[in-house]
Structure 1
Amino acid sequence: MIEAKNIHKYYNNLHVLKGVDLSISKSEIVSIVGASGAGKTTLLQILGTLDKASQKDTNSLLINGTDILKLNDKALAKFRNEHIGFIFQFHQLLPEFTALENVCLPAFIKNTPKSQAEKRAKELLDFLGLRERYNHKPSELSGGEQQRVAVARALVNNPDLIFADEPSGNLDSESAENLHKLFFRLRDEFGQTFVIVTHNEDLANMADRKLTMVDGNIVG
């Protein structure tokens, strides 16, 4: 599913990623842990195509067989919309839209017909226990409900990959535990691959594989 080789990232003279090699299989749940500043979020953003690796003659990034480093910006945006979902610590729901409308947004970007997008969004919200929350705006939802809406939004285009950056960092312990269990339920139900950056050791240890980053590289 993901084959990354010799991934580097520089910010001016700061060498953040120092030749990361990584292989992740389809339907695998992988956690990435490490101290703040180790490069976890930078790596996640590059794997998720939100940022670009610093060019090297020997680096490569394949996602589901597609050479990401060779795509132009338009093709990259299309690939991201169709194949990748994102879940962040701060859910980033649009406050003026309802839960249903927030979930539909990636589908609308994909030019999915409104009726089809809403049908899929309702299926996901139902699956996540939010049947009664279709028309509620984020301010009317609890933190756990908002995060589940964000999960539905990440899934609406049936992506192959889900990237999550501290997804439970802003939740209480019960909501965090429920979200962690949900990831595994989603993997079993829909077959997605999850890459999760987290400081939560319980979540990290639940993963199929835990990777540790130290000073810009993966050490275990």
Structure 2
Amino acid sequence: MIRAKNLHKYYDSLHVLKGVDLQIQKGEVVSIVGASGVGKTTLLQILGTLDQPHKQNDTLLEINGQSVLDLNDVALSQFRNTHLGFIFQFHQLLPEFTALENVCIPGFIAKREKATVEAEAKKLLTYLGLADRMQHKPSELSGGEQQRVAVARALINKPAVIFADEPSGNLDKTSAQNLHELFFKLRDEFGQTFVIVTHNEELANMADRKLTMVDGNIVTSN
């Protein structure tokens, strides 16, 4: 599903990723933990094609059998839109649009049929317990509801992989627990692969595997 080899990243003279290797199987829920500043979010952004590594001779990044480092910007954007989903600590919903409209946006970007996208968005929002909140704008939703809308948006194009960066970091304890349980329910029902950067030990320990980063590299996997 995901195969990465010798990933390096520099910001000026700062060497953030120092030759990361990893493999993640289809349907796995993998957490990435470590102290602030060790490169977790940088690694997630590179795995999610939001950033590029500094290529060495043997640098490799394959997702779902596709070597993404070989794609041009247009092809990479298309791949990201149709194969990958993203959930962030701050939901990043567009405030002027309703919950339903926010969920539909990636489907419209992919040029899918409007009626099909809207029907699937309604189904997802209903599945996530938001059937009566579809026409509400983000400011009218609770934090937990906003994050569930963001989850639905991440799922609308049926991505193979969902990348989550501190997804419960802005939620109260009950909402965070509900979100954590939802990830595993989604994996079991839809077969998605989840890669989650988190400081939440409870979520990290629920994962099938926990990768620990120290000083720009993965030091343990269990």
TM-score normalised according to structure 2 size: 0.99
Amino acid at match of 1:3: R
2:125 corresponds in structure 1 to 125
Equivalences for 1:204-219 in 2 at 5 Å?
Answer: 204-219=204-219
2:193 corresponds in structure 1 to 193
1:55 CA displacement: 1.4
1:53 corresponds in structure 2 to 53
Cα distance in 2 for residues equivalent to 1:76 and 1:114: 23
Cα distance in 1 for residues equivalent to 2:155 and 2:211: 24
1:85 CA displacement: 0.1
What secondary structure is seen at the aligned counterpart in 2 of 1:4?
strand
Q: Which runs of 5+ in 1 are unaligned?
A: none
Count, aligned residues: 220
1:9 CA displacement: 0.3
The two structures, once aligned, show a CA RMSD in angstroms of 0.3
Cα distance in 1 for residues equivalent to 2:69 and 2:80: 13
1:184 corresponds in structure 2 to 184
1:58 CA displacement: 1.1
What secondary structure is seen at the aligned counterpart in 2 of 1:57?
coil
Cα distance in 2 for residues equivalent to 1:201 and 1:14: 28
Q: Percent identity over the alignment?
A: 74
Residues 126-148 of structure 1 deviation map (CA, whole Å, 9 limit, x = unaligned): 00000001100000000000000
Cα distance in 2 for residues equivalent to 1:146 and 1:30: 23
Equivalences for 1:25-174 in 2 at 5 Å?
Answer: 25-174=25-174
What secondary structure is seen at the aligned counterpart in 1 of 2:8?
strand
What secondary structure is seen at the aligned counterpart in 1 of 2:132?
helix
1:113 CA displacement: 1.1
| Alignment pair present for 1:22 and 2:22 | yes
Residues 28-55 of structure 1 deviation map (CA, whole Å, 9 limit, x = unaligned): 0000000000000000000000000011
What secondary structure is seen at the aligned counterpart in 2 of 1:132?
coil
What secondary structure is seen at the aligned counterpart in 2 of 1:133?
coil
What secondary structure is seen at the aligned counterpart in 2 of 1:188?
helix
1:94 CA displacement: 0.2
TM-score normalised according to structure 1 size: 1.00
Q: Which runs of 5+ in 2 are unaligned?
A: none
Runs of 4+ in 1 over 3 A off after TM superposition: none
Cα distance in 1 for residues equivalent to 2:136 and 2:20: 42
1:171 CA displacement: 0.1
1:189 CA displacement: 0.6
Residues 26-84 of structure 1 deviation map (CA, whole Å, 9 limit, x = unaligned): 00000000000000000000000000001111100000110011000000000000000
Residues 140-168 of structure 1 deviation map (CA, whole Å, 9 limit, x = unaligned): 00000000000000000000000000000
Cα distance in 2 for residues equivalent to 1:68 and 1:57: 15
Cα distance in 2 for residues equivalent to 1:13 and 1:68: 26
Amino acid at match of 1:151: V
What secondary structure is seen at the aligned counterpart in 1 of 2:38?
coil
Cα distance in 2 for residues equivalent to 1:167 and 1:33: 13
